[in-house]
Amino acid sequence: MSMTEHSSREALALSRLYHDFDEEHLVPLWTQISDLMQPAPAPQAVPHVWRWSALYPLAARAGRLVPVGRGGERRAISLANPGLGGRPFATPTLWAAVQYLGPREAAPEHRHSQNAFRFVVEGEGVWTVVNGDPVAMRRGDLLLTPGWHFHSHHNNADAAMAWIDGLDIPLAQYADAGFFEHGTGRVTGSATPDLSRSERLWAYPGLRPLSGLQDTASSPLAAYRWEHTDRALREQLLLEDEGRPVTVSQGHAAIRYVNPTTGGDVLPTMRAEFHRLRAGAATPVTREVGSSVWQVFDGRARFVLGEAAQAVEKGDLVSVPSWTQWSLQAETDTDLFRFGDAPVMERLHFARTLSGPAGQ
Amino acid sequence: MSMTEHSSREALALSRLYHDFDEEHLVPLWTQISDLMQPAPAPQAVPHVWRWSALYPLAARAGRLVPVGRGGERRAISLANPGLGGRPFATPTLWAAVQYLGPREAAPEHRHSQNAFRFVVEGEGVWTVVNGDPVAMRRGDLLLTPGWHFHSHHNNADAAMAWIDGLDIPLAQYADAGFFEHGTGRVTGSATPDLSRSERLWAYPGLRPLSGLQDTASSPLAAYRWEHTDRALREQLLLEDEGRPVTVSQGHAAIRYVNPTTGGDVLPTMRAEFHRLRAGAATPVTREVGSSVWQVFDGRARFVLGEAAQAVEKGDLVSVPSWTQWSLQAETDTDLFRFGDAPVMERLHFARTLSGPAGQ
Amino acid sequence: MSMTEHSSREALALSRLYHDFDEEHLVPLWTQISDLMQPAPAPQAVPHVWRWSALYPLAARAGRLVPVGRGGERRAISLANPGLGGRPFATPTLWAAVQYLGPREAAPEHRHSQNAFRFVVEGEGVWTVVNGDPVAMRRGDLLLTPGWHFHSHHNNADAAMAWIDGLDIPLAQYADAGFFEHGTGRVTGSATPDLSRSERLWAYPGLRPLSGLQDTASSPLAAYRWEHTDRALREQLLLEDEGRPVTVSQGHAAIRYVNPTTGGDVLPTMRAEFHRLRAGAATPVTREVGSSVWQVFDGRARFVLGEAAQAVEKGDLVSVPSWTQWSLQAETDTDLFRFGDAPVMERLHFARTLSGPAGQ
Amino acid sequence: MSMTEHSSREALALSRLYHDFDEEHLVPLWTQISDLMQPAPAPQAVPHVWRWSALYPLAARAGRLVPVGRGGERRAISLANPGLGGRPFATPTLWAAVQYLGPREAAPEHRHSQNAFRFVVEGEGVWTVVNGDPVAMRRGDLLLTPGWHFHSHHNNADAAMAWIDGLDIPLAQYADAGFFEHGTGRVTGSATPDLSRSERLWAYPGLRPLSGLQDTASSPLAAYRWEHTDRALREQLLLEDEGRPVTVSQGHAAIRYVNPTTGGDVLPTMRAEFHRLRAGAATPVTREVGSSVWQVFDGRARFVLGEAAQAVEKGDLVSVPSWTQWSLQAETDTDLFRFGDAPVMERLHFARTLSGPAGQ
């Protein structure tokens, strides 16, 4: 048998082997390993900026054209990361959307195992009713609806309102962990109190009700109010001025929203933070395993993502995929809300961070 | 050998054996077990009430007669449980004292491994400086100086001020775990700000500075202000009126002071709580392993301790030894501060509680 | 304007809105919610049985046709769940493969953030070298190579050997958390000791080296030997015979492999268990959030998956997707190895289980 | 008024004040602080060596003279630290005793909240029955009877047997946390199996029964056998010879006995360890907050305690009070058992250790 004959017989045998693998629902690792196990994370998701100036008018148009109610459930418009093939996912783990509710509209009650929060970049007048507890939504507030809590929204004002929804929908779908259930049709909390019952019970620094001594996976506090966030950040910067090392880096104050029963993240799958940079301040250049989404709350900054930089301003939303190099440089005093899947990476021990000196 | 001879020889042998045990620093268990291992805790400490009406004038007399300074360190007058042989211990684990500081007086800086807090039943004008951070003390506040934090006190007012100190001195002494060190002579924080730096950094509901993500054994929050405690309790009772099951029992609201980094007790060895009972309300009849000390902050109540009951009112201090049956019945609306060694009992898995229906 | 005109204008406006959404990388929730948020998990992965009688000969053919070495790295043939579009994933989170190493062959050293284990259904003669520590592989053993541990394999025998690899490759890929690095070309541990250094240090019941007091995310024990597993299961059934309630259900003994530093799962993302059913015994009918893979180690059983049942025997591998109803009925005494993503579901608080009476 | 008059009036006022303090059960801190808060722990307990050569014959004499049975409960002879005023306490927190059981004798069943273990320096033939499970006692074994577990002992041999009991009796007494209850008169487990049921269920490296997934405060494993301890230590020294850094210090191997459900200490209040020093090896010079008791299991060593050194040999027991400087120098190969209150100090955050270079 010649060399040629030999190698053509080998090629044939290999081809038959691969065919037989296929028949038996088997795949050889050796042809796939370079895709499956790359030197460092190579996300399909890409860094992307969604402009509030485009988003909000589209939401308003939807407000005129699309009713809200049982079935569609929410008038929410999802960010679809351009790298993720049209799926409505901001990153592989995170769902982010603008939800729009017209004057006197309501979104029906349901619950799901997916964890959710709302963050309000502007406006007020809507109440989210969480397990029967009406929670006012106002500019700068973070509102929680942890997994399997019933919730609905009703707009009590004569103006429309829009806000950001953040959920772990992609993660729950990936993990085949999603459950969903409709609530009752009737409104379970039409009242419009300034403070929810949850806050009246839990929103005190370092105080825990004796009736609430069991730790919970998600925070029992339904609302984190802007007045506290704003003041915490302001004080950090004042303390920095007084020479105290309490900021993350020079001119960069930040807080994490936490579950008061544990001091840990507000939801088991999502971290939420608020950052304030003074004009001219910059964050370190950072890469992290895990993805996040930022929203500019106020001000104007340069967001450096990999090699590119973009100017961002109030309302703009930015996706930062895993292991993407990022940094922020504030042009004016800038406030930013951030959420991400860091608790997932930490709990699974996949977390890893590289952080260099502040960028320019 | 007769029976008599035999038994007298035995007695002699036994007597020699016990003598030889003694020589070798040995003790037979069988003669001691009924003391060492009783059916249930049989504390030497007794329930006792110290009257504010007696305590405070004595503290004031000490203010006139005894200087405060290096050596004596503090003008503190300790509660000595009548069952504990004159030692200055409120219970086997807890030290409680009235500290009195005259106008413009100061108590020098030191630190110790013993954990400490202050609770203010009345007055204001003193600042406790904790690791250089001046912390104002005002009626109803709980102030912490965790183990090994430097601290001093200075009275900035023209009136004297008195408050309660709580420490784990007896426990640290028992465990041979006490370390003590003088600080500098110079005042490390003569400023008199309304809010300490610690509060400016930490006193927000559910917000954690990004510079403070390491959990700490003791709370990083130096002051728990009365306005928050009072409001938390008021809201619990209002929520009870609205039909929400958020109180401990009917007419009995309560909060635990907690470490915001963990949701657990403020200090590793001591628990602190505040209770509010409506006039006519009563607690369940309770026995707990572990001891505690109560101080009436306001109002008038009947404190049932074992078989006896005592009327208590503002400022009165009450020791409740381990496994002592206790209950409270409020004659007027009554506020009470409580601290105890429950974290010790829980961490060592000695905790046990029996709780019956509300007493009368 | 007629009704028709009106509705055709509306349709046009809606169509334009959807077009504009698309331009801006936005997707409306209301058209997607029924897919994104289903009443209960609706996995794309399907229950499937891979037959050892087909798998093993294919692996042997690969052994003759495909070399093993740097680049392809491993002669591993992955289970590709028929529901997952040809991707080499046994379930959405789990990778499972048969690895085959010919006489005197070696697979080169590398490391990756993905966690891995091996389970040996038959054979011996290969050593996995983990961070320089040679670990013998023998029938019934579970061997660990936690994330970022260097590892290679070398066959010291004159016969080929095959075993099962389990990794969290799909999860790490999904989460964009994968890192990979080649090791040195030289063999780092050609020795062939009976016991690895890891076992000499850690494989004692309830003993922990004083040099190993730091808890670790993954188990420091590299090998869980069959002799221990077998004996633990045998004793459980004997104890059951003696009237002790130590089995999971009648005739069903089981152990979980655990990290001796914590008592928790061996790897942060994967759980491993071994189950023994007496002939005639059956497990409860169960649904769980999270997926798993079973391998029959010995015996013959009926595996009921949803509505269908299949006979399984030695070496057969079975995928059980999330929320799939499953039960097992042993025809002979049956031993089964199981691994799954339960730690992921538990750590993210997505875990949920329904368990009925034993099936028939 | 003259100076003399003035100061004598002051002295009188002060004397009256102190008298009035006393009347009201109050004690001034300023006269006590130097005792209460010393620069470093100043234990009343002293380092002391109890000689086995004295202890054992005394236990045997007690065996002839004192019956064992209900009331006295145990023929146990307690170490009474010479610094602790004749109380039967080896240290402030630890009780240690030699228990002696004659041929065919039995000690009746009881239970108590105090945690207990036995360690066997020599002999065999006794079974401790723990919650109905007979646990054989043999040379080198550590046996547990955690708090509130019923237990009795019966000697099945024709020879007497003696062993060491360790309990947290002083701690439970101090904390007023002791509960005690008699068991039934009848023997609850007269069987004499080689292995207890507890071991048959739990004594496997890294395997956990699926019926035992709840973590427990105390170890569910009733016996830690000498064969495992011995082999673990032997392997550590062999690994050291092979160049692996697995020993505590040169020539010093050590294991901690742990609870397999958590990897933590076997009992919530006591730590148990076993140390092996090669002839000529020495430990670092160490001071620790917390006390411990050592027993020489085999060999001969020099025990340096503070300034003094003592030769110790098989069976000798040594108390090491808190913050006492200690080190060990092995004259021959030496094995030592150690137990202490370290879990208490760690859980209460009083732990502190200073460790210098190896002594000579």
Helical (H) or strand (E) element with D203 = none
Alpha carbon distance B269, B271 (integer Å): 7
Q: Which of B228, B238, B263 sits opposite A215 (nearest CB)?
A: B263
Do B and D make contact, counting contact as 3+ CB pairs within 8 angstroms? yes
Alpha carbon distance D102, D104 (integer Å): 6
Nearest CA in chain C to A99: C29
**Hey, is the C-beta of A214 within 8 angstroms of any chain B C-beta?**
no
pLDDT of residue A273: 98
Residue B115's CB is within 10 A of a number of other CB atoms, namely 27
Say yes or no to pLDDT of B347 above 90.
yes
Say yes or no to pLDDT of A37 above 50.
yes
Alpha carbon distance A120, A161 (integer Å): 9
Alpha carbon distance A281, A276 (integer Å): 10
What are the phi and psi torsion angles at C180 (to 5°)?
A: -145, 145
Chain D residues with beta carbon closer than 8 angstroms to that of C208: 255-258, 263
pLDDT of residue C17: 96
Per-residue pLDDT band at A66 (split at 50, 70, 90)? very high
Say yes or no to pLDDT of D125 above 50.
yes
Residues 284-323 of D with CB under 8 A from B: 289-291, 321-323
pTM listed for this prediction: 0.96
Residue of D133, D141, D211 for testing the chain C interface, max C β-carbons within 10 Å: D211
Of all residues in chain D, the percent with pLDDT exceeding 70 is 98
pLDDT digits (tens, 9 = 90+) for A202-253: 999 999 999 999 999 999 999 999 999 999 999 999 999 999 999 999 999 9
Chain A residues with beta carbon closer than 8 angstroms to that of C144: none
Please state, rounded to an integer, the average pLDDT across all residues of chain B: 95
pLDDT of residue A162: 96
Per-residue pLDDT band at A5 (split at 50, 70, 90)? confident
Of all residues in chain B, the percent with pLDDT exceeding 70 is 98
Cα–Cα distances in angstroms (integers) from residue B164 to residues B101, B137, B189, D92, in the given order: 12, 11, 22, 29
Chain C residues with beta carbon closer than 8 angstroms to that of D256: 207-210, 213
**Hey, is the C-beta of A227 within 8 angstroms of any chain C C-beta?**
no
Please state, rounded to an integer, the average pLDDT across all residues of chain A: 95
Residue A109's CB is within 10 A of a number of other CB atoms, namely 23
**Closest approach of C74 to chain A, Cα-based (Å):** 6
pLDDT of residue C71: 82
> How many helices and strands in chain A, by DSSP H and E?
7, 24
**Hey, is the C-beta of A183 within 8 angstroms of any chain C C-beta?**
no
Q: Which residue in D268, D89, D73, D75 sits closest to D180, CA to CA?
A: D73
Contact criterion met (CB < 8 Å) for D207 and C266: no
Say yes or no to pLDDT of B151 above 80.
yes
pLDDT of residue C360: 43
pLDDT of residue A359: 47
**Hey, is the C-beta of A194 within 8 angstroms of any chain B C-beta?**
no
pLDDT of residue A360: 43
Residues 32-61 of B with CB under 8 A from D: 32-33, 36-43, 45, 48, 50-51, 54-55, 58, 61
Q: Give me the DSSP letters along B13-51.
A: HHHHHHHHHHHTTEEESTTTHHHHS-SS---SS--EEE-
Do A and B make contact, counting contact as 3+ CB pairs within 8 angstroms? yes
Per-residue pLDDT band at A186 (split at 50, 70, 90)? low
For residue B280, give the 3-state DSSP assignment. Answer: coil
Lowest mean pLDDT among B279-283, D67-71, D170-174: D67-71
**Hey, is the C-beta of B131 within 8 angstroms of any chain A C-beta?**
no
* Cβ neighbours for A136, distance < 8 A, ≥ 6 positions apart: A124, A126, A127, A192, A193, A194, A195, A196, A223
**Hey, is the C-beta of A65 within 8 angstroms of any chain C C-beta?**
yes
Per-residue pLDDT band at A147 (split at 50, 70, 90)? very high
pLDDT of residue B360: 43
Alpha carbon distance D276, D251 (integer Å): 8
Lowest mean pLDDT among B27-41, B252-266, D38-52: B27-41
pLDDT of residue D7: 86
pLDDT of residue B2: 77
Cα–Cα distances in angstroms (integers) from residue B309 to residues B298, B302, B305, B328, B357, in the given order: 18, 6, 6, 9, 17
Residues 240-269 of C with CB under 8 A from D: 242, 244-248, 254-263, 266
Per-residue pLDDT of chain C (360 residues), as tens digits, is 677 887 899 899 999 999 999 999 999 999 999 899 999 999 999 999 999 999 999 999 999 999 998 888 899 999 999 999 999 999 999 999 999 999 999 999 999 999 999 999 999 999 999 999 999 999 999 999 999 999 999 999 999 999 999 999 999 999 999 999 999 865 567 889 999 999 999 999 999 999 999 999 999 999 999 999 999 999 999 999 999 999 999 999 999 999 999 999 999 999 999 999 999 999 999 999 999 999 999 999 999 999 999 999 999 999 999 999 999 999 999 999 999 999 999 999 999 999 877 544
Q: Which residue in B94, B83, B98, B77 sits closest to B47, CA to CA?
A: B83
pLDDT digits (tens, 9 = 90+) for B158-208: 999 999 999 999 999 999 999 999 998 655 678 899 999 999 999 999 999
For the range C351-354, what are the long-range contacts, defined as Cβ-Cβ under 8 Å and sequence gap of 24 or more? C351/C288, C351/C289, C351/C290, C352/A113, C352/A179, C352/C288, C352/C289, C353/C286, C353/C287, C353/C288, C353/C289, C354/C286, C354/C287, C354/C288
What is the arithmetic mean of pLDDT over A264-293? 98
pLDDT of residue D360: 43
pLDDT of residue A356: 79
The ipTM, to two decimals, is: 0.96
Cα–Cα distances in angstroms (integers) from residue D291 to residues B27, B294, C161, D294, in the given order: 20, 32, 54, 10
| DSSP percent split of chain B into helix, strand, coil, nearest 5 | 20, 35, 40
Contact criterion met (CB < 8 Å) for C204 and D262: no
Cα–Cα distances in angstroms (integers) from residue A293 to residues A100, C140, C186, in the given order: 19, 46, 44
Do A and D make contact, counting contact as 3+ CB pairs within 8 angstroms? no
What is the arithmetic mean of pLDDT over A298-319? 97
Edge-first strand order for the sheet with D300-305 is D308-313, D300-305, D326-330, D284-288, D353-358
Half-sphere CA count of B4, side-chain side, radius 13 A: 0
pLDDT of residue D291: 98
Number of CB pairs < 8 Å for A and C? 260
